[in-house]
Amino acid sequence: MVRRALFALLLFSGLAFGQTLSGSWSTKISLLPPPVALSSTEFELFGTVAGWKVGGRAEFFGTDGWVWQTLMAQGEFRSISSEWTLLFGPLAPAFLYALGKTTFAYSGLDLTLWSAMVGPNVPPYVFTGGPSGGTVLELGYNLEGVRVSGELGFGARKQDFTLIYSGVGTYTKTFPVDPFPGGFEFRYLKLSAEDVPFCCGISLDLGFSFTKEGFDEFSATLKSIPICCGISFDASATFTTTGKRVAIEPKWEGITGCFTVYGDVNFQEPGAFQGIEVYGFKVRCELAECNYLEILTAFDPAKVEEILGEEIFQNDEFEYVKLGFCGPGCCGGNWQLDLSAYFTRSGGVLFGLSRILADFSLPIMANLTVDVGLSAPVGGLASLTVGWTFTF
C-alpha cells in the first residue's frame, strides 16, 4: 500500500506540474564480471507549485529493487527560505527520516533552524516506541570582520547521520543532522569565533562546546602563519573527552592547499607536550582548471580514514596516486577522466601496485552524458560499468 502511494504521489505530482516539469534519469549497467546486469537506476521529477519546487527521487539497486524514495520541497518568502526532505524505504515499507531547514538572513545576522526526525524502525531507535527527533538552532553574526556563531541542539546534533540498508547489497544515505532517542531535550551548545585578529597577519579560529554531561570539545586554529618566500601554514588542535588531534596545512601562494599533514599531538603525564605523531600526508596540485595530481600516503591507514571519514584503502593498501584530466566536449560541456593507482606494503608488481581505477565522463548531447567506470585489481577480476544521465 505504501509503495503504491509513493509511486502515485511521484507520478501525479509530475502530471500536475505540466510545463514546469523537469527531472533526470540515471542508470548504471555492470558489464564485467559477467553476466551483464543492471547495477542501479535513479529517477527524479520536479515541478513548481505556487512558487515552491516540489518533487521526488526514486532509487533502484540491482536485484534489491526499490531501496530509497525521497520526497522534497523547497521555497522562499522574502528573506526566509525553507526546504524539506522525507525519506522512505519502500521495501519495508517504512518512514525512515525527515529533515527540514529554514533560514533567515537580515543585516549580517544569519539564523538557521534544522528539524530532524528518524523513523521508529531505524537502529538504534527501534525500541523508542515511535519516531525520535529534535531541532538545532544556528546563529551567526559578522562583527567587524569576525564571524561569531553558535549552535544549540535539543534532541538532535549537527553531525552526520547515516542510514544503512543491507540486502543483496549494502546502501547508505547520509544527512547533516543526527536525531537522538529520548525526546526534545537539551543536547549541546557550541560557540565559535572565526578570523579573530591575533598578530603579524595571523588570525585565530576558536571553538568550544559542551553537552548536558559537561565539557565536549575545544578547538583552536592559527591561520596563515608565515615562514618565508610566500610560504605559510595553518595549525589546528582539537581536544575532546576521548582524545586529541592536530592538523598542519602548509600553503604556498599559487598552490594553496596542495599539501596536508594528518596527525595528532602527544602529551606525557601529567600534561607535558611530548611531540607530534604523523599518520600521513596528502599532496594535491591543480595543474589547470580541472586537471590535477593527488597523492595520499598513509603511515597509519586506519587513522587517516578516521580523520577523513572515508573508506579509502583495501587490505594492506597505504597509498594512492590520482590524475585528473578534462577537455571541451559536446554542447559546451567538458569530458572528465580520473585515473587512480593504489599500492600495498606487501610488494608485488610495479612497486606494490594493487589495483587501478578509471572513471570517464563524456557529454554527447546537451542533456545526455555517458559514464564509464573500470576497476582492475592486480590478480583479480576486473569490473566494468557503463551508464548515462539524461536530463529534461
pLDDT in tens, 114-150: 999 988 777 665 545 556 789 999 999 998 889 999 9
Regarding pTM above 0.85, the answer is no
268 located within any domain: no
**Quick one: pLDDT at residue 265?**
60
Cα-Cα-Cα-Cα dihedral sign, residues 301, 302, 305, 311 = positive
Of 136, 137, 120, 138, the residue nearest 181 (C-alpha): 120
124 located within any domain: yes
12 located within any domain: yes
Note the pLDDT tens digit of each residue in 252-309. Answer: 655 545 778 887 766 555 445 566 678 899 998 888 788 999 999 999 999 999 888 8
Task: Give, in degrees to the nearest 5, the angle at Cα 172 between 119 and 111.
Answer: 65
**In sequence order, what DSSP letters do the residues of 350-386 get, joined into one string?**
TTTEEEEEEEEEEEEETTEEEEEEEEEETTS--EEEE
CA pair distance 320, 352, nearest whole angstrom:
11
Query: What residue spans of 240-390 are helical by DSSP H?
Result: 301-308
Domain count for the chain, please give it.
1
φ/ψ (deg, to 5) at 15:
-65, -35
**Quick one: pLDDT at residue 6?**
47
**Quick one: pLDDT at residue 332?**
86
Q: Which domain holds residue 40?
A: 1-184
266 located within any domain: no
Low-confidence ranges of the chain (pLDDT < 70): 1-19, 123-131, 229-230, 250-257, 265-276, 348
**Quick one: pLDDT at residue 345?**
87
**Quick one: pLDDT at residue 362?**
96
339 located within any domain: no
**Quick one: pLDDT at residue 80?**
93
| Three-state secondary structure call for residue 88 | strand
CA pair distance 100, 114, nearest whole angstrom:
6
Residue 322, CA distances (Å) to 46, 174, 337, 343 in order: 36, 25, 10, 12
Rg (CA), the chain: 24
283 located within any domain: no
**Quick one: pLDDT at residue 107?**
83
CA pair distance 261, 268, nearest whole angstrom:
22
**Quick one: pLDDT at residue 351?**
83
21 located within any domain: yes
User: Is residue 69 packed enough to be buried (19+ CB in 10 Å), middle (13-18) or exposed (0-12)?
Assistant: buried
383 located within any domain: no
